[in-house]
C-alpha cells in the first residue's frame, strides 16, 4: 500500500532486506543495457526488470546489495518512495517550481504513520532530488544500505516502480 508522504511521520532503513525479496525492481532501458552482461535482467513486453532467482535478487549477498555504485537501479535507490505528476493533495510536494506527488510504500516496517515533520520532509526532498539527478543517494534511503530478500513463492512479486520510471510515474495517476 502506498500513502501520501504527509501521512508519514518518519522512516529509516535498517537494512532488513525484505523489500528486495518482496519486489522485483523495474529498470530503465539504460539500466537494462548496463546490467545486461550479468545475465540477470529480462525484458517483458517492452519493460525491463531484474531477473530474480526464485525469491531472491541475484545482486543480493546476505543482506547486502552488491550494486552499491552507479549500477544500482533508481527504483532501488528510491524505495520506499514513488513520485508522480498526478495525485492527491496530501501527496503534493513542490520541488523547483514543479508540483509532484510523493507516496510512501508502507511495506517497509520502518514507515511510521503520523504527521510529517521537518526531518521527514528532508528525506522526501532527498528522494525527489534523486529522481531529478541532483543526488545519487538519499541520506536515509534504502539504497545506501544493504537490501535483502523473501517473497511468497506462490505469487509473483509486485514490481517496484521503475527506476527510470520517473517519466512513467509522473505521467501515471496515483498508484
Ligand atoms: S527499506 Fe527495505 S531494507 Fe530498508 S528497512 Fe525497509 S524493507 Fe528493510
Ligand atoms: S537494492 Fe540491490 S539487492 Fe535489492 S533489489 Fe535492488 S539490486 Fe537487488
Tell me how crowded residue 88 is: count the other CB atoms within 10 A of its CB: 11
Closest CA to 110 of 20, 18, 6: 18
CB 15 less than 6 A from any atom of ligand 1: yes
The pLDDT tens digits of the residues spanning 25-59 come to 999 999 999 999 999 999 999 999 999 999 899 99
Ligand 2 contact, 35 CB (< 6 A): no
- Which of 10-14, 39-43, 141-145 is the least confident region? 141-145
The domain segmentation of the chain, as residue ranges, is 2-171
110-121 burial string, b = 16+ CB within 10 Å, else e?
ebeeeebeeebe
C-alpha atoms less than 13 angstroms from C-alpha of 4 in its C-beta half-sphere: 14
Query: Cell for 78?
Result: 528510491
Ligand 2 in reach of 25 Cβ (< 6 A): yes
pLDDT above 70 (res 77)? yes
Amino acid at each position: 500500500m502506498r500513502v501520501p508522504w504527509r501521512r508519514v511521520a518518519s522512516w529509516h532503513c535498517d537494512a532488513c532486506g525484505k523489500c528486495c525479496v518482496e519486489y522485483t525492481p523495474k529498470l530503465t532501458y539504460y539500466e537494462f543495457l548496463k546490467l545486461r552482461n550479468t545475465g540477470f535482467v529480462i525484458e517483458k513486453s517492452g519493460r525491463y526488470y531484474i531477473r530474480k532467482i526464485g525469491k531472491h535478487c541475484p545482486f543480493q549477498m546476505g543482506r547486502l546489495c552488491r550494486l552499491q555504485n552507479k549500477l544500482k537501479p533508481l527504483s532501488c535507490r528510491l524505495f520506499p518512495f514513488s513520485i508522480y505528476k498526478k495525485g492527491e493533495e496530501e501527496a503534493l510536494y513542490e520541488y523547483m517550481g514543479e508540483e509532484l506527488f510523493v507516496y510512501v510504500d508502507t511495506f517497509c516496517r520502518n514507515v511510521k504513520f503520523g504527521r510529517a515533520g521537518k526531518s521527514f520532509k528532508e528525506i522526501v526532498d532527498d528522494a525527489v532530488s534523486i529522481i531529478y539527478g541532483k543526488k545519487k543517494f538519499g541520506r536515509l534511503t534504502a539504497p545506501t544500505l544493504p537490501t535483502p530478500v523473501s517473497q511468497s513463492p506462490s505469487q509473483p512479486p509486485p514490481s517496484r516502480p521503475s527506476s527510470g520510471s520517473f517519466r512513467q510515474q509522473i505521467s501515471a495517476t496515483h498508484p
